[in-house]
Amino acid sequence: MSLILGLESSCDETAAALVDSERRILAHRVAGQEAEHQPYGGVVPEIAARAHVDRLAPIVEGVLADAGVTLAAVDAIAATAGPGLIGGVMVGLVTGKALAHAAGKPLIAVNHLEGHALSPRLADPSLAFPYLLLLVSGGHCQLLLVKGVGDYRRLATTIDDAAGEAFDKTAKLLGLGYPGGPAVERIARDGDPQAVALPRPLVGSAEPHFSFAGLKSAVARAAASGEHRVADLAASFQQAVVDCLVDRSRIALAACPDATAFVVAGGVAANGAIRAALTDLAARFDKAFVAPPLWLCTDNGAMIAWAGAERFAAGLTDPLDIAARPRWPLDAGAEAVRGAGVKA
């Protein structure tokens, strides 16, 4: 049995966790930065990086104390090495390197997306490869066939905005504050999802990818018109996102008949309406639907520790001179897509 310390600092959560190879979470702590970023309506990278500097060391100390272990008992240090806001990524990775060097432990540089991709296996021991994953977060929206640890085939990605990005921008347009995803979901419960006619970009097309920029622009125009209740706009926007995710996932499910399950992960996977619609879609294809607990969907140290445990079991460790990466695709050989393409 191995014990892995995981560190996460790629965006605006500072997190650490201790997870063993038997899927036991011995301790985990997360410090958010909502108060720091709320005045700006979104994450300010420099503020985020400075907050990580202040908070990460005390959080690591706290996690070790909570678990009642010392660094000597840890078998390896796993730290997010990208993708993400490069200042924050560097804070976590340099901390991981220092701990690994000081304690004489192996370093495991974890792709943040792999942390999300493997997190359902932390929550569900029965989940076997290969499975179809919808990875949907503030910075990414992808469909991936997860064939094994470090082995991914990208089936679709966004050609512009990610779904979580669209939620955040819509919340700002509607004056709902930050973070946007939970705010939109809350007010959408009091709205009519059919009240405002909004586009569903690429829905019904043969192209497998996602697009949310046009939807965001349509929300901006509808909000500026003054003709609609905020709750109706939020509900109609959320329903449009649901329809886009379901339609694109339908194409991927049809292309992956051998997938053991349909899995969703990432921060947007915490949205109840999205979970319900994807559950129904999986049932239509006679696939098990797997989603991590809500706390494991958003950024956290446990998913990084678990990804580290999976990589450590496979004999995958990294040198101390490995570089932080602002962009790091899971499928480096995937074909470039039209549009932005940088979030592939």
310: phi > 0 → left, psi -120 to 50 → alpha, else beta; which?
alpha
Q: What is the pLDDT of residue 177?
A: 84
Whether residue 185 is annotated as binding a ligand: the answer is yes
Structure confidence by residue, pLDDT tens digits, 240-261: 999 999 999 999 999 999 999 9
Kindly give the parts of the chain with pLDDT less than 50: 341-342, 344
Q: What is the pLDDT of residue 139?
A: 87
Structure tokens belonging to residue 10: 């790629």
Whether residue 267 is annotated as binding a ligand: the answer is no
Whether residue 164 is annotated as binding a ligand: the answer is no
Whether residue 209 is annotated as binding a ligand: the answer is no
Whether residue 135 is annotated as binding a ligand: the answer is yes
Which whole-number Å values give the CA distances from 104 to 180, 254, 319, in the listed order? 42, 48, 12
Structure confidence by residue, pLDDT tens digits, 25-51: 999 999 999 889 988 878 999 999 999
Q: What is the pLDDT of residue 21?
A: 98
* Three-class DSSP labels, the chain: CCEEEEEECCCCCEEEEEEECCCCEEEEEEECCHHHHHHHCCCCHHHHHHHHHHHHHHHHHHHHHHHCCCHHHCCEEEEEEECCCHHHHHHHHHHHHHHHHHHCCCEEEEEHHHHHHHHHHHHCCCCCCCEEEEEECCCCEEEEEEEECCEEEEEEEECCCCHHHHHHHHHHHCCCCCCHHHHHHHHHCCCCCCCCCCCCCCCCCCCCCECCHHHHHHHHHHHHHCCCCHHHHHHHHHHHHHHHHHHHHHHHHHHCCCCCEEEEECHHHHCHHHHHHHHHHHHHCCCEEECCCHHHHCCCHHHHHHHHHHHHHCCCCECCCCCCCCCCCCCCCCCCCCCCCCCC
C-alpha 288/C-alpha 216 separation (Å) is 32
**Maximum separation of any 2 CA atoms in the chain, in Å:** 63
Q: Smallest Cα–Cα separation from 43: which of 54, 34, 51, 53?
A: 34
C-alpha 333/C-alpha 234 separation (Å) is 37
Q: What is the pLDDT of residue 178?
A: 82
C-alpha 224/C-alpha 245 separation (Å) is 26
Q: What is the pLDDT of residue 34?
A: 87
Whether residue 68 is annotated as binding a ligand: the answer is no
Structure confidence by residue, pLDDT tens digits, 154-164: 999 999 999 99
Entry field: residues in the chain? 344
329: phi > 0 → left, psi -120 to 50 → alpha, else beta; which?
beta
C-alpha 58/C-alpha 64 separation (Å) is 10
Domains observed in the chain: 3-120+296-314 (3.30.420.40), 128-291 (3.30.420.40)
Q: What is the pLDDT of residue 42?
A: 83
Whether residue 92 is annotated as binding a ligand: the answer is no
Whether residue 300 is annotated as binding a ligand: the answer is no
Structure tokens belonging to residue 106: 């192996």
Whether residue 139 is annotated as binding a ligand: the answer is yes
Whether residue 63 is annotated as binding a ligand: the answer is no
Sign of the alpha-carbon dihedral angle for 158, 159, 164, 170: negative
pTM: 0.94
